[in-house]
């Protein structure tokens, strides 16, 4: 079985990564950390840059479990990428990070977490950064 972590280079992504590592160790499962964005011309704060990728890869290389980092920038949104990963790997749990948003913020910007919760077919653990 595999723990899947949806990673973004923000505190909520770091929290999800730390919890994913902890769970994979406790449950003796593999770990896949995914950073997925559609790409395009605009700046995307959810996309991990080279420094973020290197830091995450270093962290998972020393965590004592079978772990890998994947980054997708190929036109699909994060939800589509996560759904595909869940459907093609033996995923026991998806770990996502949450951030506090106002009701108006959710209305205007949408909620990626809500979309993930409604569409992904495996158990999901949502964690909040301190």
Residues 3, 33: contact at Cβ < 8 Å? no
Spatial distance between the Cα atoms of 25 and 63, rounded to a whole number of angstroms:
8
Average pLDDT over residues 108-113: 65
Task: Answer with the residue of higher pLDDT: 93 or 38.
Answer: 93
User: What does residue 55 show for φ and ψ, rounded to 5 degrees?
Assistant: -65, -45
SS3 120: coil
Report the pLDDT value the prediction gives residue 44, as an integer from 0 to 100.
Answer: 74
The fold adopted by the segment(s) 2-128 is Rossmann fold (3.40.50)
SS3 4: strand
SS3 sequence, 14-75?
HHHHHHHHHHHHHHCCEEEEEEEECCCCCCCCCCCCHHHHHHHHHHHHCCCCCEEEEEEECC
pLDDT tens, position by position, 16-58:
999 999 999 999 999 999 999 887 666 677 889 999 999 999 9
């Amino acid at each position: 079985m595999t723990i899947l972590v949806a990673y973004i280079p923000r505190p909520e992504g770091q929290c999800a990564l730390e919890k994913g590592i902890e769970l994979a160790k406790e449950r003796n499962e593999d770990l896949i950390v995914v950073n997925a964005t559609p790409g395009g011309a605009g700046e995307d704060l959810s996309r991990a840059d080279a420094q973020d990728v290197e830091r995450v890869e270093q962290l998972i290389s020393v965590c004592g479990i079978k772990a890998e980092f994947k980054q997708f920038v190929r036109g699909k949104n994060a939800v589509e990428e996560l759904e595909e990963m869940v459907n093609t790997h033996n995923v026991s749990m998806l770990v996502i990070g949450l951030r506090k948003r106002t009701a108006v913020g959710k209305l205007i910007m949408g909620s990626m977490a809500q979309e993930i919760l409604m569409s992904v077919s495996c158990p999901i653990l949502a964690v909040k950064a301190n």
